[in-house]
Structure 1
Amino acid sequence: MRLPVLLTLQAVWASLCHAMQNYPAAWGHYDVCKSQVYTEEGLTWDYMACQPEAADMTKYLKVTLDPPNITCGDPPETYCALENPYMCNNECDAGTEELAHPPELMFDFEGRNPTTFWQSSSWKKYPKPLLVNITLSWNKTVELTDDIVITFESGRPEQMVLEKSLDYGRTWQPYQFYATDCLDAFIMEPKTVQDLTQQTLLDIICTEDYSRGYVWKYDKTVRFEIKDRFALFAGPRLHNMASLYGQLDTTKNLRDFFTITDLRIKLHRPATGATMVDENNLSRYFYAISDIKVHGRCKCNLHANSCVFDKEKLACECEHNTTGPDCGRCKRSYQGRAWSAGSYLPIPKGTANICIPNNVGPVIRPNVSSLGVANRNQDCECSGHSNRCSYIELLNTVICISCKHNTRGQHCQLCKLGYYRNVSAELDDENVCVGQSHHCNRRCDL
């Protein structure tokens, strides 16, 4: 007797989920860029601000170490445990897979046993500082959505700086300083993120919370707290996202604070486990990182809800007649007004600020359609190759007509027979479809 009840509950749940798909923006996700709606003038598009889902961004980065030969194992080395200088049975050998600790092990799946990790050479040149820079580059603007978390397999460093770049590594700004003694290391008063307010959120602080000695054996993480900073506007449980979105919309410095193209981890001094360095056993001192977590989303200026990783590069799949890696400009044929980023406001759908055609032409209205089509100002979405479209009642679809520049298809997005896609040109380029006589030089496709 329970089976019909379970099926009924399952049906109710499925119906609820299906219904909620029509109202994603009500939850503040901004995951839909447009939807078709019926108005007094007929079928038209309703445009909304949109953004990609947050994701694990470590899948798409390039890591660089400085100095380049700082990774252990070439030549092979033997290491001692920090907490026990007589336990020296750990070996690093770059030529043996099971004994190697290359940089990519900072980003692999954790959960296996034993843990995998990157490891530096030991502090053999003491008292010369053991300085290491680990640079994470995306070649794309990224908006951070969660805490940056660095997990050390060895003791956490006694001095460290986290830096960010917003111009692809040309210039750098500090994000946060970390030290066992902030005054001694960086001439800064120690603070925590809990000391920040809405007015001081952008302040760069030094914290001693993540640099304790090795007595805290199981406390291996170093964090840069993104969500605690969000909470200054959105509340402790981030329930008031409207307040945060409002601030991000109206305060460029705040928005830029959470936006990066690169991160740099500057390791200044390894864990020593004591006030004095044991110069007779320097193989105890090194850096080892098992995991780095960076969660965020591609910055698409609220003009895209997806981001693709192709040919080792991230790019937004732009909507709203925008183009560029960050949807940062209008398409060539849609410059009827100046480009503008989308807006989170008003909640919950925001404002799309779409790019409009240079010259808006008439739309054909078949008399047989009781629904009609969009008004004169509706964008027919013809990739810049036509400004005329028609509503096909039987298919409940708007299609482009009179496609120019050797294009065809519902949105003039395909090439006519005998013509080939010039992949070096954007979809709205007049030369996107070229004839067989053109020399493609391996840059054309069907």
Structure 2
Amino acid sequence: MSGHVPPLSPGSLPFKILLIFLQLRYTCPWITRYPGCVLPEIPRPWFLSRFGLVKTAFPLCEGTKDQARHPPALHGLRNDGEGWPSDPGRAWAAEALSWRAIALVPHLLLGTKEPGLSGVVGVSSRCEKACNPRMGNLALGRKLWADTTCGQNATELYCSYSENADLTCRQPKCDKCHAAQPHLAHLPAAMADSSFRFPRTWWQSAEDVHREKIQLDLEAEFYFTHLIMVFKSPRPAAMVLDRSQDFGKTWKPYKYFATNCSATFGLEDDVIKKGAICTSRYSNPFPCTGGEVIFRALSPPYDAENPYSAKVQEQLKITNLRVQLLKRQSCPCQRNDLTSKPQHFTHYAIYDFIVKGSCFCNGHADQCVPVDGFRPVKAPGAFHVVHGKCMCKHNTAGTHCQHCAPLYNDRPWEAADGKTGSPKECRTCKCNGHADACHFDINVWEASGNRSGGVCNDCQHNTEGQHCQRCKPGFYRDLRRPFSAPDACKSENCSTDGNTVPRVVVQPLAKITDSRRKGENSTKKVCSCHPVGSAVLPFNSVTFCDPSNGDCPCKPGVAGPHCDRCMVGYWGFGDYGCRPCDCAGSCDPLTGDCISSSTDIDWYQEIPDFHSMHNKSEPAWEWEDEQGFSALRHSGKCECKEQVLGNSKAFCGMKYSYVIKIKILSAHDKGSHAEVNVKIKKVLKSTKLKILRGKRTLYPESWTNRGCTCPILNPGLEYLVAGHEDVRTGKLVVNMKSFVQHWKPALGRKVMDILKRKCK
């Protein structure tokens, strides 16, 4: 009808536009006034809070007027690795976010998803579930120790061979070393420098040394996942890898390495018996240089279903790592016609000593800071130091998040569950705002049916009790004040200003009933508090109520004037009140079963969440100095039998779930699996999972099964990849059944033709 104005209902588009405008108006006044966030804070209207749009939704207005007039481009922000951009300061980053907030308006209106945010009220934490800090090389920034160093007392002469494919010897190369002269030094620190920036640096022992020791000392407990050693000299005929969990007081072997395990150590060989503590697979002297030793801390018989379980912690936690080189061996290509000349081949030499691991946080943190007093060892170039003090989440505290925060001991502390992702958060104690700390009491926990075990410490504000739930003797409850208020308990004689005040008389139900029978004080209300759901009188176990209106004080989670039912969002009415629903919305008050009903959801909750386009567990999309994979570092030593493009029938018979063109960005070893970050440049085929162009993670077969990552995916190169999807986890899997070839336009056209014409 002409002139009709539609009602401004919460679900209408005009109402959404109005709320978004008001949110931007009240979070950053310069949007509608003038550029600059220097106006006094304007009180936000009640309706912004009512509809979930609060001022903290976007941290927009922290800049100055001058900065607002010249908002920086997003691509101009530098990141220092700690979450906020570096200079020119946080204000510039906040300004950049304000421009992004304006850009969100069409996404909110159209119901589309804007990448990079996880909800209307801010960026989601990466630690909502079980989480762990970034993995890195624990040797970076720390001092490696060795018993000897080439030329530590005087200049020494040394020689080395590099073999040919037929094992014949090339002419030996000889040189000098001196530990005090930088251009001739081969110090232990060379094993821990960047293999990408300094690929030809190494540590070398003194000549004619039969036994040698290399040791890494850490300043705290760390999680150790695997070790990669790359030798310049032939690998030892025998060596032992040890670890300490008590800062070097005691040692325990991780693995024995020998050409003959039974003859050298009297142990079985894991080549023959899977899970044996000794192996011969890394003790062959060939190749004479560049030979690798790889140890994985969670090799069989250990598994990593839950990386925070007690069994896995016992295997992974270290404070020190030590390698004992016990027996040298010569290059098999050495010639026999040099016996009359002095020998200078009797030394150990190592290019790389890569100790992969992470800060140990029990699954309760994803970032760490330096332990108090720790100073990284200076070294050339920039590098990422894995620090040892956790920035705890999930209401935990401690260097390793090993206990609950002071006021969060209502349930026993637990490590997060890495298998299910449950964070196992510490729960706050119910101290009514009258205590700063609490402790866990197992007897209280068991008495409550394993529901609540927190006992408040040092109750303040004249309160006492397990939950600081009653006033101390000599004080009475002022029912005009909420019990959480500091002045809820007042002296029986004086007010807070020292003046004598009449005490509010609180009578038990029986007394009130008797007085009403006698016609006394007929204005008082009769108490009818539920005996289970209501609280008790501060001085005894009698239920009480406000004599002016009859309202009863309820136990936690209980509602109603008479405390006879659970609050919305709570269930399990009983002696300890009601417990919170473990649901996104409401639940059945009797059973706790979640209730899914569109009538229970406000319109603003129906706006689709903003999701990051890549997996939340993925690291930042950037190059790392330390890629961590043997195959990516020394791909020439990796032997992978890969699929080839033969006839079209065989290709179609593989029934690949996806065919994509990718560029490798970086690779990461997560300890229990490998992740390769890629940029998808073209999608030739996609079935069950929706694959979009952009950044994504591939999951190749673990290098630990064969000493490298197969198929080989080298950073910086482009490939055509055909593989299968794990629909359950949403992962793109790359394994020995996948087709992986360097990208060529002709190859892309051929595969596309096969997909269109043959694979039907």
> Under a length normalisation based on structure 1, what TM-score does the superposition of the two structures give?
0.59
CA distance in 2, matches of 1:385, 1:221: 63
Rounded to whole Å, the distance in 2 between the matches of 1:31 and 1:173 is 38
Output one character per residue of 1:389-425: Cα deviation in whole Å (capped at 9) or x when no partner.
Answer: xxxxxxxxxxxx99xxxxxxxxxxxxxxxxxxxxxxx
Q: Which of 209, 214, 221 lines up with 1:141 in the alignment? A: 221
The answer to whether the 8 Å contact 2:161/2:288 transfers is: no
1:270 is the counterpart of 2:350: no
Q: CA deviation at 1:60?
A: 4.3
Q: Deviations over 1:76-127 (max 9, x none)?
A: 1001225669736211012221110111100111235770001100116xxx
Q: Distance in 1 between matches of 2:405 and 2:351?
A: 44
**1:245 pairs with 2:325:** no
Distance in 2 separating the partners of 1:296 and 1:31: 23
Q: Structure 1 stretch 113-122 or stretch 80-89: which is displaced more?
A: 80-89
Give the corresponding residue for 1:352.
Answer: 424
Q: In structure 1, how many angstroms separate the alpha carbons of the residues matched to 2:242 and 2:363?
A: 26
Q: Give the drift of 1:326.
A: 0.8
Q: 1:55 to 1:249 in 2, by over 3 A?
A: closer
Give the counterpart of 2:191 among 77, 84, 106.
Answer: 106
Q: Select which of 276, 291, 314 maps to 1:256.
A: 314
Q: What does the per-residue CA deviation read over 1:327-348, in whole Å, with 9 as the maximum and x for residues that have no partner?
A: 1123334434443322225x2x
Which residue is equivalent to 1:224? Answer: 295
Q: Per-residue CA shift, 1:228-253, capped at 9, x if unaligned?
A: 549x85xxxxxxxxxx434x455x22
- Measured against aligned partners, the alpha-carbon deviations of 1:244-294 in whole angstroms (never above 9, x if no partner) come to 434x455x2233212222211111112323599979644211111111122
**Separation (CA, whole Å) in 2 of partners of 1:104 and 1:136:** 11
Q: 1:288 aligns with which of 339, 346, 349?
A: 349
Change in CA separation of 1:301 and 1:76 when aligned onto 2, cut-off 3 Å: same
The 1:58–1:355 alpha-carbon spacing in structure 2 relative to 1, beyond 3 Å, is: farther
Q: 1:74 to 1:20 in 2, by over 3 A?
A: farther
Match of 1:304 among 340, 358, 365: 365
Contact 2:298 2:315 in 1 (8 A): no
- The counterpart of 1:341, out of the listed 395, 415, 419, is 415
Kept in 1: contact 2:135–2:357 (CA 8 A): yes
Given that residues 228 and 354 in structure 2 are in contact (C-alpha distance below 8 angstroms), is that contact kept between their aligned partners in structure 1?
Answer: yes
- The C-alpha deviation readout for 1:156-184, integer Å capped at 9, x for no partner, is 11111111112222211111111122222
Q: Distance in 2 between matches of 1:107 and 1:385?
A: 54
2:266 corresponds in structure 1 to 187
**Is the contact between residue 123 and residue 282 of structure 1 (CA under 8 Å) also seen in structure 2?**
no
Partner of 1:33: 127
Alignment-mate amino acid for residue 214 of structure 2? I
How many angstroms apart in 2 are the aligned matches of 1:249 and 1:133?
Answer: 31
In structure 1, how many angstroms separate the alpha carbons of the residues matched to 2:219 and 2:289? 35
CA distance in 1, matches of 2:204, 2:117: 50
Change (3 A) 1:91 1:253: same
Alignment partners' CA distance in 2, 1:322 and 1:88: 57
Secondary structure at the aligned position of 2:326 is classed as: strand
Rounded to whole Å, the distance in 2 between the matches of 1:183 and 1:227 is: 23
The 8 Å contact of residues 411 and 426 in structure 2, kept in 1 or not, is answered as: no
For residue 304 of structure 1, give the secondary structure of its aligned residue in structure 2.
coil
The 1:302/1:360 distance shift into structure 2, 3 A limit, reads farther
8 Å CA contact 1:62, 1:138 repeated in 2: no
CA contact (8 A) 2:143 2:217 kept: yes
The one-letter amino acid of 2:139's match is T
Structure 1 residues 257 and 114, CA gap change in structure 2 (3 angstroms): closer
- 1:58 maps to which of 126, 139, 152: 139
Deviation track 1:128-168 (CA, whole Å, cap 9, x = no partner) reads: xx2211111222222234x3100111111111111111222
- Supply the distance in 1 between the matched residues of 2:174 and 2:368 (Cα, whole angstroms): 46
The gaps in structure 2 that reach 5 residues or longer are 1-106, 163-168, 376-386, 435-451, 453-458, 462-466, 468-484, 487-760
Deviation string, structure 1 residues 53-76 (Cα, Å, up to 9, x no partner):
2223222433222x3x44434211
**Number of residues of Structure 1 aligned to a counterpart in Structure 2:** 310
Q: Deviations over 1:357-404 (max 9, x none)?
A: 472439xxxxxxxxxxxxxx9xxxxxx9999xxxxxxxxxxxxx99xx
The two structures have a TM-score, normalised by structure 2, of 0.36
User: 2-side partners of 1:49 and 1:114: how far apart?
Assistant: 36
Aligned to 2:101: none
| Equivalent residue letter for 1:189 | E
Supply the distance in 2 between the matched residues of 1:264 and 1:98 (Cα, whole angstroms): 28
> Is the CA contact (8 Å cut-off) linking 1:106 and 1:292 kept in structure 2?
yes
Tell me the distance in 2 between the aligned counterparts of 1:112 and 1:298: 25
- In the superposition, relative to structure 1, how do residues 223 and 357 fare at CA in structure 2: closer, same or farther (>3 Å)? same
User: Does the CA-based 8 Å contact 2:217-2:247 persist in structure 1?
Assistant: yes
1:96 to 163, 171, 181: 181
**Which residue number in structure 2 is paired with residue 324 of structure 1?**
398
In structure 1, distance between residues paired with 2:326 and 2:119: 49
Q: Look up the equivalent residue of 1:220 and give its one-letter code.
A: G
Alignment of 1:113-128 (within 5 A): 115-123=200-208
Kindly indicate whether structure 1 or structure 2 has the higher relative contact order, using CA contacts under 8 Å at least 6 residues apart.
1
Q: In the alignment, what sits opposite 2:284?
A: 212
- Closer, same or farther: CA 63–217 of 1 in aligned 2, 3 Å: closer
1:25-73 Cα shifts (integer Å, max 9, x gaps): xxxxx97334xxxxxxxxxxxxx332212223222433222x3x44434
Change (3 A) 1:341 1:189: closer
Letter in 1 for 2:144: V
1:152 touches 1:221 (CA, 8 Å); kept in 2? yes
Classify 1:317/1:75 alpha carbon distance in 2 versus 1 (closer, same or farther; 3 Å). same
* Contact 1:60 1:309 (C-alpha < 8 Å) held by counterparts: no
Paired AA for residue 75 in structure 1 = A
- Partner residue in 2 for 1:438: none
Q: Which has the larger radius of gyration?
A: 2
Structure (1 or 2) with the greater strand fraction:
1
- Aligned equivalents of 1:356 and 1:209: distance in 2? 52
Q: 1:385 to 1:157 in 2, by over 3 A?
A: farther
Q: How far apart, in 2, do the equivalents of 1:71 and 1:385 lie?
A: 66
Aligned equivalents of 2:160, 2:343: Cα separation in 1: 11
Paired residue secondary structure (1:176):
strand
1:170 paired residue number: 249
1:361 to 1:189, Cα distance in 2 relative to 1, 3 A: same
For the 8 Å contact 1:336–1:357, the answer to whether it is kept is yes
Q: Which residue identity does 2:354 align to in structure 1?
A: K
| Aligned partners of 2:297 and 2:315 also within 8 Å | no
- Distance in 2 (CA, whole Å) between partners of 1:316 and 1:71 is 39
- Structure 2 residue aligned with 1:414: none
